[in-house]
Amino acid sequence: MDCQEIFEELSEYIDENLARQKCRELERHLETCHNCRVVVDTLRRTVALYHSMPDEEVPEDVRLRLHKIIRLKPEE
């Protein structure tokens, strides 16, 4: 596998969806290619950073207004 092919498979690799044979070839390439290794490590870190972003709280006034607006009327 060369850098071009590797590049298209990186998300499947970090999501652990790559077939075993392809995974082995990719890892062999990573052992000798500094730039591909950096792209894999920083791509993985990027995904982890976004995944760990804390939730935004719904402001209390917005929450109360929402619950009031959607209340069902008995005749509906």
Partner 1 sequence: MKQLVPTDEALIARIRRHDNDALEQLVSRYEVRVYNLAYRMLGNREDAEDVLQDTFVNVVRGLDKFRGRSSFSTWLYRVAANAALTKIRKRSRREKSESEFLDDVYSVRETAHSGSLLTDWSSNPATRLLDEEAKNEMNRAIDDLPEIYRAVFVLRDVEGLPAAEVAEVLGLSVAAVKSRLHRARLYLRNRLSGYFTAE
Interface contacts to partner 1, rule CB under 8 A = 3-4, 7-8, 10-12, 34-39, 41-47, 49-53, 55-59, 62-63, 65-67, 69-72, 74, 76
Q: In the complex, what is the shortest distance from the CB of residue 20 to partner 1, in angstroms, rounded to a whole number?
A: 19
Please, what is the minimum distance in Å from the beta carbon of residue 18 to partner 1?
Answer: 12
Contact 32, 1 (CB under 8 A): no
**How many Cβ atoms are within 10 Å of 30's Cβ, its own excluded?**
18
Specify the residue, 28 or 58, whose C-beta has the smaller distance to partner 1. Answer: 58
Closer residue to partner 1, CB minimum distance, 12 or 25: 12
Paired tokens of 13:
């690799």
Contact residues for 7 (Cβ-Cβ < 8 A; gap 6+): 36, 39
Whole-number minimum distance, CB 23 to partner 1, in Å?
16
CA–CA gap between residue 53 and residue 50 (Å, rounded): 5
